[in-house]
Amino acid sequence: MSSALIKCLNLAKTVGNATVRSFLAAPKQPWQSCSAAALQTPHVQMPMQMHTSAVRRDLMEFFDDKKNWSENEVKVGRAWRTEELRIKSNKELHQLWFVLLKERNMLLTMEHECNDKMEVFPSPERIDKVKISMENLETVVRERNKAYHLLETGETGERPQKAVKNAFGLQVSYKACEHALPPFMNLKWIKSRNIGYGGRAVNRFLLKYREKLYNAKRKAKNRSRNEVMMILRRNPNFDLDVLRRQFPDVNVDKLRNEDKIRGHYVPKVGV
- What would the pLDDT profile of 228-265 be if each residue is shown by its tens digit? 988 888 888 888 899 899 999 888 888 888 777 776 65
Looking at the structure, tell me whether residues 185 and 239 fall in a common domain.
Answer: no
Looking at the structure, tell me whether residues 67 and 149 fall in a common domain.
Answer: yes
Provide Rg for the chain, Cα atoms.
36
Residue 76 lies in a domain: yes
Domain end point (choices 120, 153, 186): 153
Alpha-carbon gap, residue 34 to 14, rounded angstroms? 31
pTM, entire model: 0.53
Domain enclosing residue 188, as ranges? 159-197
Looking at the structure, tell me whether residues 88 and 126 fall in a common domain.
Answer: yes
* Residue 121 CB partners (closer than 8 Å, separation 6+): 110, 111, 114, 115
Looking at the structure, tell me whether residues 132 and 190 fall in a common domain.
Answer: no
* Residue 140 CB partners (closer than 8 Å, separation 6+): 82, 85, 86, 93
Percent of the chain with pLDDT over 70: 73
Whether pLDDT at 58 is above 90: no
SS3 265: coil
SS3 175: strand
Least confident of 15-24, 183-192, 240-249: 15-24
pLDDT for residue 184: 83
Looking at the structure, tell me whether residues 134 and 176 fall in a common domain.
Answer: no
Q: Looking at the 3D structure of the chain, how many domains does it have?
A: 3
Looking at the structure, tell me whether residues 126 and 211 fall in a common domain.
Answer: no
Alpha-carbon gap, residue 98 to 93, rounded angstroms? 9
pLDDT in tens, 148-173: 999 999 888 888 888 888 888 888 88
User: Is 12 exposed, middle or buried (CB count within 10 Å of its CB: 0-12, 13-18, 19+)?
Assistant: exposed
Domain end point (choices 175, 197, 219): 197
Looking at the structure, tell me whether residues 184 and 246 fall in a common domain.
Answer: no
Domain end point (choices 97, 123, 153): 153
Residue 15 lies in a domain: no
Say what angle helices 90-117 and 125-152 make with each other, to 10 degrees. 150
- Are 197 and 167 in contact by the 8 Å Cβ rule? The answer is yes
pLDDT for residue 67: 80
Looking at the structure, tell me whether residues 185 and 208 fall in a common domain.
Answer: no
Residue 11 lies in a domain: no
SS3 161: strand
pLDDT in tens, 100-143: 999 999 999 989 988 998 888 888 899 999 999 999 999 999 99
Looking at the structure, tell me whether residues 215 and 244 fall in a common domain.
Answer: yes
Looking at the structure, tell me whether residues 68 and 140 fall in a common domain.
Answer: yes
Looking at the structure, tell me whether residues 165 and 232 fall in a common domain.
Answer: no
Looking at the structure, tell me whether residues 180 and 215 fall in a common domain.
Answer: no
Residue 50 lies in a domain: no
